[in-house]
């Protein structure tokens, strides 16, 4: 079982990776996917690392060029990650 198969954030971000690649953002998609497929010892570590990966992804792409589905999925993930990391995604 892949990590994304057992949690909704991972599954959503795997879809974002595919959509980002199709939109021409292979390098940012690869970096996000790499973080998704790492092993983490605690859920806090996982959420923190995934949160950082999403922030890096956000900074490396023009979100307006991403498909609507990818934007929606990222927004959902940011909201869920922000529950445990209040203010993490404020600009």
Query: In degrees to the nearest 10, what's the CA dihedral of 83, 74, 52, 11?
Result: 90
Q: How confident is the model at residue 1 (pLDDT cuts 50, 70, 90)?
A: very low
Question: Can you give the residue ranges of every domain in the chain?
Answer: 3-84
pLDDT(87) > 90? no
Segment 40-57 mean pLDDT = 92
* Average of per-residue pLDDT across 46-74: 94
Provide mean pLDDT across the span 20-46. Answer: 95
Tell me: pLDDT of 88 over 80: no
Q: Contact at 8 Å (CB) between 13 and 50? A: yes
């Amino acid at each position: 079982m892949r990590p994304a198969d057992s949690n909704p954030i991972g599954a959503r971000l795997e879809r974002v990776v595919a959509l980002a690649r199709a939109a021409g953002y292979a390098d940012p998609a690869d970096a996000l996917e790499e973080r998704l497929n790492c092993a983490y010892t605690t859920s806090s570590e996982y959420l923190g690392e995934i949160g950082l990966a999403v922030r890096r992804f956000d900074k490396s792409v023009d979100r307006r060029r991403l498909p609507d589905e990818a934007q929606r999925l990222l927004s959902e993930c940011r909201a869920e990650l922000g529950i445990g990391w209040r203010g993490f995604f404020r600009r």
